[in-house]
Amino acid sequence: MWGLIAVGFWPSYIGPGLAGSLEKTGVVHLHALAYVGWMILFTVQSTLPMMRRTRLHRRLGRFGIGYGVLVFAMGLVVSFEAFFRVVGDGAVGIDGRRALLNPLHDMMVFPVLFGFAIGYRKNPDIHKRLMVLAGTMLVIASVFRMTFIDATNIFMIDAIWLSPVWLAILHDAVFRRRLHPVYGFGLPLMALIPARNLLVDAPFWRAFTEWLVATFR
């Protein structure tokens, strides 16, 4: 996941930031900071059980629930901020509709996966796999920013974006000799997510984005 983030955001954020030429709004910086914090927490939480520090893992997990809510809230804020920034004072075009569709949909799927992971936190086998799916959901934005990927090629997007899940499935195949039901159900559903771009010109989405602009601009 760290690798996907680094490759995807290097041209538009990380590289310019290191070069001192980054020009982004404060909301975007806060959003980036919140998501980096999430990845650090996710990495620590993934490591603690391997070190047999399960008690600390549970204690941090209580904090992680609140942090997950923060990530969700920041995702919503930056979704609408990006939409109105792209639209500006003009009409809602395809770029504006897409600027809202993708991140807003991410923020609809992530809390569902995260919520189920919290609900199953007393069942480690299910909990950790749901967290893999939830964490993978949050890195999809970095994959859509990779310049070498054709945004219309769903198979290529799924191959790269879902690579953390593919690796987790490979791990289960080698050490457990089976496919866990969480991946059996979750992977096919997540693989369909990139197809959401087909909805960018749907009448209901056109009407919704135009209503947003007419109401709040």
Per-position pLDDT tens, the chain of length 217: 999 999 999 999 999 999 888 888 888 899 999 999 999 999 999 999 999 999 999 999 999 999 999 999 999 999 999 899 899 877 788 889 999 999 999 999 999 999 999 999 999 999 999 999 999 999 999 999 998 988 888 999 999 999 999 999 999 999 999 999 999 999 999 999 999 988 999 999 999 999 999 898 7
Give the pLDDT confidence score for residue 156 in this predicted structure.
Answer: 94
Give the pLDDT confidence score for residue 9 in this predicted structure.
Answer: 95
- Can you state the angle between helices 26-47 and 54-87, rounded to 10 degrees? 160
- Under 8 Å between Cβ of 60 and 46: no
CB atoms near residue 66 (< 10 Å): 9
Give the pLDDT confidence score for residue 76 in this predicted structure.
Answer: 94
Q: What distance in Å separates the CA atoms of residue 21 and residue 186, rounded to the nearest whole number?
A: 40
User: Which among 146, 136, 158 is positioned nearest to 12, based on CA atoms?
Assistant: 146
Q: What distance in Å separates the CA atoms of residue 214 and residue 205, rounded to the nearest whole number?
A: 14
- Under 8 Å between Cβ of 35 and 71: yes
The tokens for 215 are 């109401």
pTM of the model: 0.92
- Tens-place pLDDT, residues 131-166: 999 999 999 999 999 989 888 889 999 999 999 999
